Chains A and B, each alone.
Chain A
Amino acid sequence: MKIAITTSGDSLAAPLDSRFGRAPRFLLLELADGSFTLVDNRQNLDAAQGAGIQAAQNLAATGARALITGHCGPKAFRVLQAAGIQVYTTPGAPTVAAAVEAYRAGRLQPLAAADVEGHWA
């Protein structure tokens, strides 16, 4: 099963990026064997609005079944939910590896709804 973690870096040691819509990339991890790929998310840098919506579609296309990030707004959440992607937030995890560790240990709670108000734009 693949899970995605938002990050600005390029490895498991990289810091977790707490943003979803405007995170530079996702680290897409295959839980079974620990291999990963990096998925670019920078189409959103100049998005006039709805960056989270674009990011969610972007993520849905990767086949990820879960997302770990810092916060998730309502529009992004709606798309992720429709795509069947479980969203976990962990604003406190310093690195991708720490976030994955917390996830594997069952310490992360899945979101039932967006945890922050959307940015209008």
Chain B
Amino acid sequence: MILAIASGKGGTGKTSVAVALAQAATGKVQYVDCDVEAPNGHLFLHPAITERREACLPVPAVDAARCTGCGECARFCQYNALAALGTNVLTFPELCHGCGGCAKLCPAGAIREVPRRIGVVESGQAGTVRVTQGRLDVGHPAAPPLIRAVKRQAGADGLAILDCPPGTACPVVAAVRGCDALLLVTEPTPFGRHDLTLAVALARGLRLPLAVAINRCDTGDRQTEAYCRAEGLPVLLRLPDDRRVAEAYSRGEGMLAARPEWARLFRQLPAAMATLGQGGAP
């Protein structure tokens, strides 16, 4: 089962929940860190990394000797990654999405694709949990290709927990697409609730089975609970605000280090997520 953990708002506890779930779950478990801009799971799981691979995007390289200056490549490219000045074709690989179109359409066969590094994918073991994570190179703008590369490393059997980036834009879509169920972690504040509504719209747009976890549930206001009730969203986890948990988190210790008794709350999650209908209807 592929279980994605996302949020909308940043800082609600996605990584905390994902790590606790990885530690509490039984059987074959993988933790997959898809927040490639700011991957944090490793800070809590301490995996021994044994595999490290560069992730690359195929970008154009133009053979000036073959180029006839027709300009087709530059006209085709939607991202202005190619600028044609006669037979002098400039490339802007940082703008390239790696679609391969230019190389295929060049009538002179003057364009070949060369790999451009965008980041790394690493894997290793943390006790019984297999950890896979991606780390985007600083300065490289686009996370989705690396997120897809990270997900390809995730194995097909057992439980795969995908720790997703914050927000609702294309990195999140790349991370949550194709999961079996999505757990949205929120906090009961106005910002948390507002961003939750955006994340729910995203999940429903992607037709993903959906549930909610409310972190620091005894703080803030009652609006988030009311919203979940009104929308028929199952709240499968409620975690109280806990100073010991916050302090442990600040030191790089997971929730279960401070509150081991919470393990049973996490252990029941995968089975509960597996029975969800689509779109959050119970």
**Residues of A in contact with B (beta carbons under 8 Å apart):** 47-51, 53-54, 56-57, 60, 75, 78-79, 82-83, 120
Contacts and interface: CB of A to CB of B under 8 A. Distances in A.
Contacts, number: 34
A69 B172 CA distance: 39
A112 to B, nearest CB: 18
B84 interface: yes
Given A79-B90, A82-B88, A120-B141, A57 B83 contact: yes
23 contacts: A48-B78, A48-B79, A49-B79, A50-B79, A50-B80, A50-B81, A50-B92, A50-B95, A51-B80, A53-B83, A54-B80, A56-B83, A57-B74, A57-B83, A57-B84, A57-B85, A60-B85, A78-B90, A79-B83, A79-B85, A79-B90, A82-B83, A82-B90
Contacts of B90: 78-79, 82
A75 B79 CA distance: 13
A54 B95 CA distance: 13
Contacts of A79: 83, 85, 90
Nearest to B88: A82
Interface of B: 74, 78-81, 83-85, 88, 90, 92, 95, 141
Contacts of B92: 50, 53, 75
A13 to B, nearest CB: 32
B228 to A, nearest CB: 36
B78 A82 contact: no
A49 B95 contact: yes
Contacts of B79: 48-50
A109 to B, nearest CB: 24
A79 B95 CA distance: 14
Contacts of A60: 85
B80 A82 contact: no
A45 B85 CA distance: 22
A75 B95 CA distance: 10
A82 B95 CA distance: 18
Contacts of A83: 85
A29 B58 CA distance: 41
Nearest to A21: B80
Given A49-B95, A79-B83, A83-B85, 11 more contacts: A49-B80, A51-B80, A53-B83, A53-B92, A54-B80, A56-B83, A57-B83, A57-B85, A60-B85, A78-B90, A79-B85
Nearest to A78: B90
A53 B80 contact: yes
A51 B83 CA distance: 11
B232 to A, nearest CB: 37
Nearest to A53: B80
Please give me the 5 A-B residue pairs with the lowest Cβ-Cβ distance, nearest first.
A50-B80, A53-B80, A79-B83, A83-B85, A53-B83
Contacts of A49: 79-80, 95
